Chains A and B, each alone.
Chain A
Amino acid sequence: MKRHLLESADLDRDDATLVLDTAAQIDQALAGREVKKLPTLRGRTVVNLFYEDSTRTRISFELAAKRLSADVINFSAKGSSVSKGESLKDTALTLEAMGSDAIVVRHGASGAPHRLAHWVRGSVVNAGDGTHEHPTQALLDAYTIRQRLGRLEGVRVAIVGDVLHSRVARSNVWLLNTLGAEVTMIAPPTLLPVGVGSWPVEVSYDLDSVLPKADVVMMLRVQAERMNASFFPSAREYSRRYGLDGRRMALLDDDAIVMHPGPMNRGMEIAAEVADSVRSTIVEQVGNGVSVRMAVLYLLLGGNEPA
């Protein structure tokens, strides 16, 4: 592994597989144990530096670090020196001076973790930057697919929704491609970036035609506010054309699974009957997130051998 995890585009097949295998070993090691804690990162300090509210991602990283026995500091931009105008660089140098070994950063600006990595000596983990990447989400998604379907090579993944604004979509494109899966993006043309043609994916505007051939359907969160900028005419029209409801779910293969990075807009991109069905991996994804983030922190801070 490299020193930082900034983007899944950085991960080669060996790195990515090592993370997934390490997460599986951690799962096994902790299975059935009363005390779900490993001593691996005792004495190390992990800072969660969050410039955007994201309770679930922060808690997931916090749990991951604590289960590895690291000390965890949560630094939220709100109500801190940041809201008084401190620069990202000064904040980073301050945290490092206090002895942080790793900074887990969530930021609204694409590339902020890259800048951070330029300024600090410790490890930087990207927990979501703007509309760029969210690599641990892609890793936990890949982990979940492998767990359910037993493989990633040749798996056909349909990613549906607001690709333009989605860091989850970008991270999944690169990681799934690295791991041998075949990705199709389905979205209204307004929510696909100009330049998507250079990505290693198929593109479709028609969800119904893709579903029968998909092993995995990954639904992206779509914010209703996007309709105010004319990305689509109305929430209802979006839902009719690109939402996953019971009728569409019936088009899927028997073994196909439905994923969502959360938080969901029930009734918008995904119907309740789909979200709560046996195909849905949404709750598993949350649990796997902790294991995968433990693996990432372990590999960046602990060592390069599997646990």
Chain B
Amino acid sequence: MSYLIRGARPYGGDPADILIKDGRIAAIGESLSATGVEVVDAAGLIALPGLVDLHTHLREPGREDAETVETGSRAAALGGFTAVHAMANTDPVADTAGVVEQVWRLGQEAGLVDVVPVGAVTVGLRGERLAELGAMADSAARVRVFSDDGSCVSDPALMRRALEYVKALDGVVAQHAEEPRLTVGAQMHEGDRSARLGLTGWPAAAEEAIIARDVLLAGHVGARLHVCHVSTAGSVEILRWAKGRGVRVTAEVTPHHLLLTDACAESYDPVFKVNPPLRTDEDVHALRAGLADGTIDAVATDHAPHAVEDKESEWAQARPGMLGLEQALSVVVEAMVETGLLDWQGVADRMSARPAVIGRLSGLGDLSQGRPLAPGEPANLLLLDATTRATVDPATLASRSRNSPYAGRELPGRVVATFLRGTPTVLDGKATR
């Protein structure tokens, strides 16, 4: 099927028609005409490249009651994503070629986004010895991003070896930066509010100390390092310093760390419990500034579905994590676009182009992700109505879980359509399958 998208505004610019044929963008221009095509009226809608998420928890295999590859893929498509990286902390852990190929195949079967498995750095995420990184890289899943996310690779010697080893695979280690000895029992950001609420604090220094150590190691061995969910102003400073010295480090920030603060914990509602925790206003502003100036390369959702019983409890008993895929773009519009910190080109860069480069997805020919909206490129794109605002109702989400921190909050923007290699996965705001 071929499509003619009429009147969309690529990157928020002047209206143009986009002709999609054989999975590729055939032409972009004024008043295109074509026969035998389905016409999509996109007057007033903004066209952006399909989003790429470096950090998604799809929970399958192991916790299919919280999310499956299929339900998570649907949530992703509805959020405008055309590719998501599936984190390795499943059960069993994605630390072998067998598990990453299973996840990859489930993604293919769902067919809503490219599901790109992340491989564990260490066996069982235990931080003791390296998993077979090469086998995962050479598998059908073609793993390039390795992460023990949820746990930090805290042993400095093991981290050094991991950084070195993945150089041969053109891979990257995505570090969950959390010094475990400084966060024993930690429940929320350590500061004025944790002191008052009597919840054990998660100090900013526990993140910053690991990032500082890792950028030094990455610089020393000349390897690529990616830092997951950066959450503090101090981390942004360290990254800026490291990039200035030429260290090959990239970093991501989550939508929730761009919008929410530790004030949310005052309700003791565990829907706001997340790791790393929500920080202060000052941190939010530093993260926004870091994303705007490119110190932080990408927005990544850390979409973390949890079953009701894992969240409807005392704060300390609840699992950390929150949904993100379906609201990510809206949050970025609110935090970055409406504040004037990023234009639409900037949004495309931080949510599509750069994460695709980090995940080594941009040079795969027909299967490339994160490519610009231009003739000849794979037709991965989304259409956004940036003029509407809507109140988030978790009951209407495609995710199997309901732990959205945005419940009841009004957010701007609505993804009207998403195309994956020329095939609509979302039309009229609804998933096509």
CB neighbours of B199 from chain A (8 A): 110-111, 130-132
Q: Are A130 and B312 in contact (CB under 8 A)?
A: no
CB neighbours of A9 from chain B (8 A): 196
Which of the candidate stretches B85-93, B251-259, B314-322, B385-393 sits at the interface with the other chain? B314-322
A167 within 8 A of partner (CB) = yes
Q: Are A199 and B198 in contact (CB under 8 A)?
A: no
For the complex formed, measure the closest distance between the CB of B279 and the CB atoms of chain A, giving whole angstroms: 13
A89 within 8 A of partner (CB) = yes
Q: Are B198 and A132 in contact (CB under 8 A)?
A: yes
B309 within 8 A of partner (CB) = yes
Q: Are B314 and A193 in contact (CB under 8 A)?
A: no
**Which residues of A in the span 58-96 have a Cβ within 8 Å of any Cβ on B?**
87-89
CB neighbours of A115 from chain B (8 A): 268-269, 313-315
CB neighbours of A131 from chain B (8 A): 198-200
Q: Are A198 and B195 in contact (CB under 8 A)?
A: yes
Q: Are B314 and A107 in contact (CB under 8 A)?
A: yes
B214 within 8 A of partner (CB) = no
For the complex formed, measure the closest distance between the CB of A69 and the CB atoms of chain B, giving whole angstroms: 32
Tell me what chain A mostly uses at the interface: helix, strand, loop, or mixed: mixed
Q: Are A109 and B316 in contact (CB under 8 A)?
A: yes
CB neighbours of A129 from chain B (8 A): 198
Q: For the complex, what is the distance from the CA of A196 to the CA of B194, rounded to whole Å?
A: 10
Q: For the complex, what is the distance from the CA of A258 to the CA of B69, rounded to whole Å?
A: 62
> Which bucket holds chain B's interface residue count?
20 to 34
Q: For the complex, what is the distance from the CA of A88 to the CA of B315, rounded to whole Å?
A: 11
Q: Are A87 and B313 in contact (CB under 8 A)?
A: yes
Q: Are A193 and B312 in contact (CB under 8 A)?
A: no
B160 within 8 A of partner (CB) = no
For the complex formed, measure the closest distance between the CB of B64 and the CB atoms of chain A, giving whole angstroms: 21
Q: Are B195 and A193 in contact (CB under 8 A)?
A: yes
Q: For the complex, what is the distance from the CA of A196 to the CA of B201, rounded to whole Å?
A: 13
A195 within 8 A of partner (CB) = yes
Q: Are B314 and A167 in contact (CB under 8 A)?
A: no
Q: For the complex, what is the distance from the CA of A167 to the CA of B195, rounded to whole Å?
A: 11
B192 within 8 A of partner (CB) = yes
Query: When the two chains form the complex, which single residue of B196, B203, B267 contacts A170, counting CB atoms closer than 8 Å?
Result: B196
Q: Are A194 and B268 in contact (CB under 8 A)?
A: no
Given contacts A109-B315, A109-B316, A110-B316, contact A170 B198 (CB under 8 A): yes
Q: For the complex, what is the distance from the CA of A133 to the CA of B313, rounded to whole Å?
A: 18
A181 within 8 A of partner (CB) = no
Query: When the two chains form the complex, which single residue of B201, B269, B317 contacts A194, counting CB atoms closer than 8 Å?
Result: B201
Q: Are A112 and B198 in contact (CB under 8 A)?
A: no
For the complex formed, measure the closest distance between the CB of A169 and the CB atoms of chain B, giving whole angstroms: 10
CB neighbours of A198 from chain B (8 A): 192, 195-196
Tell me what chain B mostly uses at the interface: helix, strand, loop, or mixed: loop
Query: When the two chains form the complex, which single residue of B187, B201, B267, B316 contacts A193, counting CB atoms closer than 8 Å?
Result: B201
**Which residues of B in the span 387-405 have a Cβ within 8 Å of any Cβ on A?**
none
CB neighbours of B190 from chain A (8 A): 194-195
Q: Are A112 and B314 in contact (CB under 8 A)?
A: yes
Q: For the complex, what is the distance from the CA of A241 to the CA of B360, rounded to whole Å?
A: 59
Query: When the two chains form the complex, which single residue of A114, A118, A195 contacts B194, counting CB atoms closer than 8 Å?
Result: A195
Q: Are A132 and B314 in contact (CB under 8 A)?
A: no
B37 within 8 A of partner (CB) = no
Q: For the complex, what is the distance from the CA of A35 to the CA of B285, rounded to whole Å?
A: 64
Q: For the complex, what is the distance from the CA of A88 to the CA of B196, rounded to whole Å?
A: 23
- Residue of chain A at shortest CB distance from B316: A109
Given contacts A115-B268, A131-B198, contact A195 B192 (CB under 8 A): yes
B12 within 8 A of partner (CB) = no
CB neighbours of A132 from chain B (8 A): 197-199
Q: Mark B269-291, 1 if CB is under 8 A from A, else 0.
A: 10000000000000000000000
CB neighbours of B309 from chain A (8 A): 87
CB neighbours of A193 from chain B (8 A): 194-195, 201
Q: Are A89 and B267 in contact (CB under 8 A)?
A: no
Query: When the two chains form the complex, which single residue of A111, A197, A199 contacts B268, counting CB atoms closer than 8 Å?
Result: A111
Query: When the two chains form the complex, which single residue of B193, B195, B267, B314 contacts A88, counting CB atoms closer than 8 Å?
Result: B314
Given contacts A89-B313, A194-B190, contact A111 B197 (CB under 8 A): yes
Q: Are B196 and A111 in contact (CB under 8 A)?
A: no
Query: When the two chains form the complex, which single residue of A88, A114, A199 contacts B313, counting CB atoms closer than 8 Å?
Result: A88
CB neighbours of B269 from chain A (8 A): 115, 118
CB neighbours of A118 from chain B (8 A): 269
**Which residues of A in the span 101-133 have a Cβ within 8 Å of any Cβ on B?**
107-112, 114-115, 118, 129-133
Q: For the complex, what is the distance from the CA of A87 to the CA of B90, rounded to whole Å?
A: 25
CB neighbours of B222 from chain A (8 A): none
Q: For the complex, what is the distance from the CA of A130 to the CA of B194, rounded to whole Å?
A: 13
B191 within 8 A of partner (CB) = yes
Q: Are A114 and B198 in contact (CB under 8 A)?
A: no
Q: Are B267 and A114 in contact (CB under 8 A)?
A: yes
For the complex formed, measure the closest distance between the CB of A175 and the CB atoms of chain B, giving whole angstroms: 14
CB neighbours of B187 from chain A (8 A): 110
**Which residues of B in the span 179-215 have a Cβ within 8 Å of any Cβ on A?**
187, 190-201, 203
Q: Are B196 and A87 in contact (CB under 8 A)?
A: no
Q: For the complex, what is the distance from the CA of A49 to the CA of B110, rounded to whole Å?
A: 47
For the complex formed, measure the closest distance between the CB of A68 and the CB atoms of chain B, giving whole angstroms: 29
Q: For the complex, what is the distance from the CA of A195 to the CA of B198, rounded to whole Å?
A: 11
CB neighbours of B198 from chain A (8 A): 110-111, 129-133, 167, 170
For the complex formed, measure the closest distance between the CB of B142 and the CB atoms of chain A, giving whole angstroms: 42
- Residue of chain A at shortest CB distance from B200: A131
- Residue of chain B at shortest CB distance from A197: B192
Q: Are B203 and A194 in contact (CB under 8 A)?
A: yes
CB neighbours of B313 from chain A (8 A): 87-89, 115
Q: For the complex, what is the distance from the CA of A111 to the CA of B313, rounded to whole Å?
A: 10
Given contacts A87-B309, A110-B268, A114-B267, contact A195 B316 (CB under 8 A): no
A-B contact pairs, 16 of them (CB 8 A): A87-B309, A88-B313, A89-B312, A107-B314, A109-B316, A110-B197, A110-B268, A110-B315, A111-B199, A112-B314, A115-B315, A130-B199, A131-B199, A194-B203, A195-B196, A199-B195
Closest 9 CB pairs of A and B: A111-B268, A132-B198, A195-B195, A193-B195, A109-B314, A131-B198, A198-B192, A110-B198, A195-B192
Known: A109-B317, A115-B313, A199-B196. 6 other contacts (CB 8 A): A9-B196, A110-B268, A112-B314, A114-B267, A115-B315, A170-B198
